[in-house]
Amino acid sequence: MAADVDKTRAKDGSRNSVQNGTGSWFWRGIWTLLIVGSVPLLAFAIKYYQDAQLLKRHEESVRILGMEGLFLFSSLDSDRDSYLSPEEFKPIVEKLTGITPPVDVEEEIIHDPNGETLILEAKMQPLQLHSMTKSKDGFLGVSHSSLSGLHSWKTPAVPSSTFSASHFRAFLPPKNKVNVGDTWWVIPSELNIFTGYLPNNRYHPPTPKGKEVLIHSLLSMFHPRPFIKSRFAPQGTVACIRASNDFYFDIVFRIHAEFQLNDVPNFPFWFTPGQFTGNIVLSKDGLHVRHFHLNVPNNRSLNVDMEWLYGASESSNMEVDIGYLPQMELKSTGPSTPSVIIDEEGNVIDSKDINQEPIQFVFEDIHWSAEISQQEAAHRLEVTLYPFKKVDYLPFSEAFERAEAENKLLHSILLWGALDDQSCWGSGRTLRETVLESSPVLALLNQSFISSWSLVKELEDLQADKQNPVLSEKARLHLESYNFPVEMMVALPNGTIVHHINANYFLDQTAMKPEEEGATFSFSGGFEDPSTSTYISFLKEGLEKAQQYVAQ
C-alpha cells in the first residue's frame, strides 16, 4: 500500500502543495524495497511501526511542552512530523524580528518595471456583532480573548495598493480553455471526502506559491492572515470565461478562503465568508487589466461562518456561529496604465511625472463577440466546485434507510482516519479526480445506488453500540470486508456486502504508464479513461452479484 501511495503522490506531486507529513521520508526510503517485494504485510508492519513512533513523540512532546505548549508547537508544525523546519519556523522569526522576508515571485510572472500598474482599493464594514446567535444572550460564556481578533478588525489592513498588471495573468485561462463558458481551477482544491479537512490549530498561512501569490496578496488587503485554502470543502479558486473578443476576456471567479483573526496567545478564531466572488476584464496577453472587482456577496441575511477554539484541543473545544458582513470589497480605481510611455518622436515620457500635466488615457468601450450571462457563469463555477457532489453522499444509517426505501443498492466507501492519516491522501485524491467525478460514474451512481462514505472509527463505534443491534451488525459486515486504507463496497439494504474492492488494488489495476499521465488528471472524464471504465465495471459487477442474491 505504501507503494501505491507513493506512486500516486509522484503522479500528482506537482499539484499537491500541501505536503503531507506522516513520514514521507520514510516512504521514500523504502520505496525501492517495496517495488521489489510489494508485500502488503510489510506495509502494514511499517504503518504500525510508524504510528508507534508518532505516538511516542507525541507523548514526549506533551511531557516537555504541556498541552497548551504542544498546541502552539503543532500550529507551526504544518507537516505534523513533530519537527519544525526553517519554513515552519518562519512566522516566529517574523514575529521576533519584525522583518517579513520577500515572497518568492514565480518565474511565470513577467517582471517588467515599465509594465502597467493598477490601483486597487479595499472597503469593508465590520461584521455586525448583533447578527451573531451568541449575541442573543450577550455572548454569555464567550471569553473576551476569543473574540478579540473580531472586535479589533474594523477596517481593511491595506486600504489601497498598487499592483503590477502582469500579476493578474494568474487569472488567464490555461491554453485548452478558450471558449466562453469554459471553467478551470486557478487554485485547485486539495480536499475531498477522503482527506476530510485541514487542521484548526494554525495561526499563520503557509507561504503562497505560484498563482496563490496573487490571491494571497489580494485577500491580505483585508486582513494580514488570509488562508487561501480553507480548512473545509469547498476550497480553492475557480474561474470561468464569461465573455471574450479578439483582445479581452471577462473572467468571473469564485474563491473559497478564510481568515485567521486571532494570534498567539489567544486560541484560533476562523472567519470564513460564504464565498468571495468577482470578475476581471483583462487583455488576452495578460499585460493590461481593464477592470477588477471582488467582494463577499451580501444579499443574504447571514454570509460568514465563524469558528473558534477555547482550549488546546483540535476539535472538542470549538464554538461555531454565523453572522452578517455588510461589505468586503476590492475594486480597481481604473484601468491599468503604463508608468512610462513613448511619444511619436520616440521620447520617453513618465506618465507619473508630477511636474507635467497628468496624461489622460482614453479607453474605448469593449464589445464582446461572445458572452454568457453572469448567472450562467456563476452556475458553471458552482458545478466545477462540487462535481462529485452531483450525487449525495449520505451518512451510514441514513444511506441504508434510503436504500431500503428506494430498493437500491448501497455504494459505500470506507476509509481509514481521513483526518490524521494523511497517507490516504494519494489514493483519495486520485479517486476523486478521476472516477468519482466522471460523468458516466455519476450517472450510474445516481440511477442505481445510494452513496455513502464513512470512517473506520465511526463504524467501530457503531459496531460497539449495543443500543442499536441492527446498525451494529451492518457496521460489522462493513468492517469485515474492509482493507486498509480505502475500500469501496456494494451492499444490499440489509447490510450484506455483495462486492468490494480495495482502492490501492483498484489503482494498480488502472495504473497509467508515465507517458499517459496527462490523461489521468484531465477533467474530461470520458469513457476513454481506464479508471472510469474499471469503476463502472466494479459497480456493474456489484449489480449482477446482487441479482444472484435476489434470485436465491
Considering only the stretches 140-148, 231-239, 296-304, 398-406, report the one whose residues sit in contact with ligand NAG under the rule CB under 6 A: 296-304
**In terms of DSSP H, where are the helices of 252-345?**
none
**What is each CA distance from 11 to 14, 16, 86, 216, 511, in whole angstroms?**
8, 10, 27, 27, 10
Contact between 328 and ligand NAG per CB under 6 A: no
The answer to whether the beta carbons of residues 530 and 449 sit under 8 Å apart is no
* Residue 53 in the binding site for ligand NAG (CB under 6 A): no
* Cell 489514493 -> residue: 427
Q: Residues 33, 38, 41, CA angle at the centre, nearest 5°?
A: 105
State the minimum distance, in angstroms, from the CB of residue 442 to ligand NAG: 5
Phi-psi region of 138 (alpha: psi -120 to 50; beta: other; left: phi over 0): left
Q: Of these, 181, 199, 210, 297, which contacts ligand NAG (CB under 6 A)?
A: 297
Query: Which stretch of DSSP H or E encloses residue 50?
Result: helix 40-76
Distance, CA of 467 to CA of 475 (rounded, Å): 13
464-483 mask for ligand NAG (x: CB under 6 A)?
--------------------
Q: Which one of 20-28, 244-252, 362-370, 492-500 is the stretch in contact with ligand NAG (CB under 6 A)?
A: 492-500
Do residues 22 and 423 make contact, with C-beta atoms less than 8 angstroms apart? yes
Q: Does 492 bind ligand NAG (CB under 6 A)?
A: yes
The residue within the footprint of ligand NAG, chosen from 53, 100, 494, 522 (CB under 6 A), is: 494
Sign of CA dihedral 349, 355, 357, 360: positive
Per CB under 6 A, the segment of 86-94, 253-261, 314-322, 493-501 that binds ligand NAG is: 493-501
Contact pick of 21, 126, 224, 495 for ligand NAG (by CB under 6 A): 495
Out of 132, 418, 442, 444, the residue judged to bind ligand NAG by CB under 6 A:
442
Of 349 and 443, nearer to ligand NAG (C-beta) is 443
Minimum CB–partner distance for residue 472 and ligand NAG (Å): 12
Q: Which is nearer to ligand NAG, 97 or 552 (CB)?
A: 552
Of residues 21 and 234, the one with the C-beta less far from ligand NAG: 234
Distance between CA 545 and CA 39 in Å, rounded? 29
Element (H, E) at 540: helix 530-551
String of contacts with ligand NAG for each residue 299-318, x by CB under 6 A: xx------------------
| Shortest CB 299 distance to ligand NAG, Å | 4
Count the Cβ atoms, other than its own, within 10 Å of residue 546: 21
Site string for ligand NAG, 329-368 (x = CB under 6 A): ----------------------------------------
Of the two residues 417 and 495, which places its CB atom closer to ligand NAG in the complex? 495
Per-state percent for the chain, helix, strand, coil, to nearest 5: 40, 20, 40
Touching ligand NAG, residues 71-100 (CB under 6 A): none
Half-sphere exposure at residue 450, Cβ-oriented, CA atoms within 13 angstroms: 21
373 binding ligand NAG? (CB under 6 A)? no
**Interaction between residue 407 and ligand NAG (CB under 6 A):** no
Give, to the nearest 10 degrees, the angle between helix 456-464 and helix 469-480. Answer: 140
Tell me if 274 sits within 8 A of 300, measured CB to CB: yes
Cβ proximity to ligand NAG, 164 vs 275, nearer residue? 275
Q: Does 446 bind ligand NAG (CB under 6 A)?
A: yes
Give the interface with ligand NAG as residue ranges (CB under 6 A).
297, 299-300, 375, 390, 442-443, 446, 492, 494-496, 549, 552
